[in-house]
């Protein structure tokens, strides 16, 4: 697929600070299109050329050198207008490079607003923390009542070929989803009436992953709590467009056999699944859970390595079909085999 790089600045008056990026999508008669796209070193945002399928805008968030170096500060702003669809991917794992001073922290912040009837999909490759890396990430999503959001946030153990296994110094990943609700307006001397005030946020989800080993003796603790997993992650889904996906995930989890109910050495086909689908449903390759909260579904998962997690995620999303149907199959490219 050919990639068309959009110019760094949208207007001559735009001057972004280093590490800042902006992407905004608006609706047109032909579908969704980018209304603003700009970025400044060390972050780059590009969008592939699309002449046929305009259901959704596809964009990639990149970093020079393929990763984030100590002291980098990245700030991203995302706006998805009413009725639009935007998918944000990466073109490889985001490498978190080693720092010589644990007080030098790399930080990435993303703030997104998703309007009514709009949808935002974020299916990046996993974070890959190198030995002695220090990183903080905060992603805040403001969604209107009829907006949809699909977010994948996952972390690998590091460079297995280099002998790394959760050898990072510190990693914090924080995700928040806020619903924007109209504040009731009050008539003078009368009762409040809905729809007349400015939108006010209501916290729906706050999900944190904290990995910290400031002293060498704590490294074994991080590895221990990883439980032999080479990757851990979170999938958050919600909104009208993703209702079928949410029900599918909850149904798949409810159908999982509980402790002692199955012999994994001899997979059963009584439920009508194909043999190769058994691991995708939570067999020995992937451990996962799903729960519904405030209109959203949160999935927590762990796998022995990134490839197993990638196959499982792709299998689940392809089997259910909403992403390919509403966005397009190319939005699953980050989950393809490498």
pLDDT band of residue 3 (cuts 50, 70, 90) is very low
Question: Does residue 280 sit within a domain?
Answer: no
Contact 135, 171 (CB under 8 A): yes
**What secondary structure letter does DSSP report for 155?**
E
Question: Does residue 38 sit within a domain?
Answer: yes
Highest mean pLDDT pick, 128-142, 199-213, 217-231, 254-268:
128-142
Question: Does residue 251 sit within a domain?
Answer: yes
Give the residue-averaged pLDDT of 39-67. Answer: 88
What percent of the chain clears pLDDT 90, i.e. is strictly above it?
67
- What does the alpha-carbon distance between residue 77 and residue 223 come to, in Å, rounded to a whole number? 34
3-state class (DSSP) for residue 187: coil
pLDDT at position 279 is 42
Q: Judge whether residue 237 has pLDDT over 50.
A: yes
Contact 286, 300 (CB under 8 A): no
Question: Does residue 13 sit within a domain?
Answer: no
Domain hosting 113: range is 20-181+201-256+286-335
- What does the alpha-carbon distance between residue 131 and residue 134 come to, in Å, rounded to a whole number? 9
Question: Does residue 146 sit within a domain?
Answer: yes
Question: Does residue 217 sit within a domain?
Answer: yes
Give the residue-averaged pLDDT of 128-145. Answer: 97
- What does the alpha-carbon distance between residue 69 and residue 62 come to, in Å, rounded to a whole number? 13
Question: Does residue 111 sit within a domain?
Answer: yes
**pLDDT, tens digit, for every residue of 156-181?**
999 998 989 999 999 999 999 999 98
Number of domains in the chain: 1
Q: Judge whether residue 267 has pLDDT over 90.
A: no
Q: Judge whether residue 211 has pLDDT over 50.
A: yes
3-state class (DSSP) for residue 300: strand
Signed CA dihedral, 80, 51, 333, 320: sign only: positive
Q: What pTM value is reported for the model?
A: 0.85
pLDDT at position 335 is 95
Rg (CA), the chain: 21
Mean pLDDT, the chain, integer: 86
Q: Please report how the helices 243-254 and 306-320 are oriented relative to each other, as an axis angle in degrees rounded to 10.
A: 120
pLDDT band of residue 284 (cuts 50, 70, 90) is low
pLDDT at position 220 is 63
Lowest mean pLDDT segment, chosen from 8-22, 103-117, 176-190, 223-237: 8-22
pLDDT at position 40 is 95
**pLDDT, tens digit, for every residue of 178-204?**
999 876 655 555 554 555 556 689 999
Question: Does residue 271 sit within a domain?
Answer: no
Bridge partner residues of 175 (DSSP): 139, 207
Q: Judge whether residue 254 has pLDDT over 90.
A: yes
């Amino acid at each position: 697929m050919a990639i068309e790089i959009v110019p760094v600045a949208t207007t001559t008056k735009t001057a972004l600070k280093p590490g800042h990026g902006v992407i905004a999508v608006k609706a047109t008669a032909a579908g969704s299109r980018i209304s603003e796209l700009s970025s400044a070193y060390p972050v780059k945002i590009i969008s592939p050329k699309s002449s046929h399928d305009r259901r959704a805008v596809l964009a990639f968030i990149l970093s020079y050198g393929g990763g984030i170096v100590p002291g980098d500060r990245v700030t991203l702003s995302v706006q998805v207008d009413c009725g639009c669809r935007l998918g944000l991917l990466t073109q490889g794992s985001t490498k978190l490079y080693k720092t010589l001073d644990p007080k030098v922290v790399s930080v990435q912040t993303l703030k997104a607003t998703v309007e009514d009837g709009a949808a935002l999909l974020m299916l990046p490759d996993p974070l890959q923390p190198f030995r002695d890396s220090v990183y903080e990430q905060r992603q805040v999503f403001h969604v209107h009542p009829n907006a949809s959001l699909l977010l994948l946030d996952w972390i690998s153990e590091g460079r297995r070929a280099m002998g790394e296994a959760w050898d990072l110094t510190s990693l914090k990943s924080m995700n928040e989803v806020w619903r924007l609700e109209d504040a009731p307006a009050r008539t003078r001397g009368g009762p409040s009436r809905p729809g007349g005030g400015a939108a006010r946020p209501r916290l729906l989800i706050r999900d944190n992953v904290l990995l910290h080993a400031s002293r060498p003796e704590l490294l074994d603790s991080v590895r221990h709590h990883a439980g032999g997993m080479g990757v851990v992650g979170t999938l958050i889904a919600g909104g009208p467009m993703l209702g079928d996906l949410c029900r599918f995930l909850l149904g798949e989890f409810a159908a999982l056999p509980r402790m002692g109910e199955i012999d994994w050495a001899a997979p059963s086909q009584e439920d009508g699944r194909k043999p190769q689908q058994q691991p995708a449903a939570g067999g020995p390759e992937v451990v996962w859970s799903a729960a519904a909260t405030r209109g959203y579904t949160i999935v927590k998962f762990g796998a022995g390595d990134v490839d197993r997690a990638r196959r499982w995620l792709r299998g689940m999303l392809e089997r259910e079909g909403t992403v390919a149907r509403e966005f397009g199959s190319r939005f699953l490219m980050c989950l393809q085999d490498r």
